[in-house]
Structure 1
Amino acid sequence: MKSWDVVSHEVLLDRMPWLRIAVERVRLPSGHEIEDFHRIEMPEWAQVFAVVEDGRVAMIEHYKHGPRTVSLELPAGYLDAGEAPDVAARRELHEETGLEADDLQYLGRFFIDGNRGCGGSHIFVARHARQVSEPHLEASEDIAQRRLALDDVRAACLDGRIKNIATVAAIGLALAVLETNL
């Protein structure tokens, strides 16, 4: 497959580091042109499926204003400018849960919306996570700590307690890796 050529690019809204919306004119390999292809640029983030020493998974529950709901999720957060994904993953795990893990496995970078962009999620599995401190939350964070058995994590994905598709996908990938011992 060949990539599309960008003929023109116009930024419609720039609120980086959080959001940039652009419209592009693109030419497909067939020669067909699309005059108004919209892209949404957002920051990259890291998610961590952390298995604590007792075998439970560290999760957080908090209010998410975008969808206006409380959400059960993995510890996660944006990468700071120039920050490597693994550094961000360790930082977010520690800030949101007070956990650290020596065994951190990178599972890859994934996009959320193939048509618009919307940033990318770097997914990690942390094994043998241990409590080293209390969480260090930002002023905007009101987080409840949750520790779920693997079966409860699966059930939460299936029964709708986990509403964030990026979290559901990360959990599915992490469970597949853990079950195959990769």
Structure 2
Amino acid sequence: MNNLTWKVLESNYIHKGSWATLRTDKCEMPDGRIVPAYYVLEYPNWVNAVAVTEDNKILMVTQYRHAAEIISLEIPGGVIDGDEAPEAAMRRELLEETGYRFDNIEYLATIYANPSTANNKTFCYLATGGVKVQEQSLDEHEELIVHEYTISEVKQFLAENKIAQSLHCTALFYALMKLGEIG
């Protein structure tokens, strides 16, 4: 197999922020051609989970997403804090966003939102046996409404394109395959 990896010759930061950083990389392609300014968005890594309660309902949340100007139906998830382990971040996010604790959390996949321009990844999980143990504990600018849906309702949402967040659709498809709900 041919080596397709580019060699980074130089990186320059245009903006550094807590949620997003923008840099340009000067790169050399394997055949020696130079890419003078390739723009890369640096984001923290994320986690998400298909969260199934002890009575076999899938927890989903709705929230406003300003960049797209939509009310979005999503699965729970969020940013990994610092050097936090992905599974620990997922357990924290589930508790904060839904108030549910999950004893069983199974890794499903690692996916990339847009590997052509962004460097972060999302760790996807299937959480089962969820029990409500507290009220939500949301971040300052978070407003989430928690919903419980049957598996067949969630499958219908996917079929009708009612879940706009592509990373969440991907996690749902992996989880539904794992649960034997789609083949």
Same fold per TM (> 0.5)? Answer: yes
1:114-129 paired onto structure 2 within 5 Å: 114-129=115-130
1:4-44 alpha-carbon deviations (Å, 9 max, x no partner): 100111111111x2111111111111222211211100111
1:146-174 alpha-carbon deviations (Å, 9 max, x no partner): 11111111111221221111111111111
1:113 aligns with 2:108: no
TM-score in terms of structure 2 length: 0.92
Aligned to 2:21: 20
Verify the 8 A CA contact 2:111 2:167 in the aligned structure 1. Answer: no
Shift of 1:138: 2.1
Unaligned runs of 5+ in 2: none
Unaligned runs of 5+ in 1: none
Aligned to 1:151: 152
1:10-49 paired onto structure 2 within 5 Å: 10-15=12-17, 17-49=18-50
Count, aligned residues? 179
Higher strand share: 1
Distance of 1:158 and 1:30 partners within structure 2: 44
Distance of 1:100 and 1:62 partners within structure 2: 21
C-alpha RMSD over aligned residues = 1.4
Structure 1 stretches of at least 4 aligned residues deviating more than 2 Å after TM superposition: none
1:44-69 alpha-carbon deviations (Å, 9 max, x no partner): 11101111111110110111112111
Verify the 8 A CA contact 2:63 2:145 in the aligned structure 1. Answer: yes
Aligned to 2:102: 101
Letter in 2 for 1:5: K
Aligned to 1:56: 57
Aligned to 1:160: 161
Distance of 1:72 and 1:132 partners within structure 2: 23
* SS of 1:91 mapped into structure 2: helix
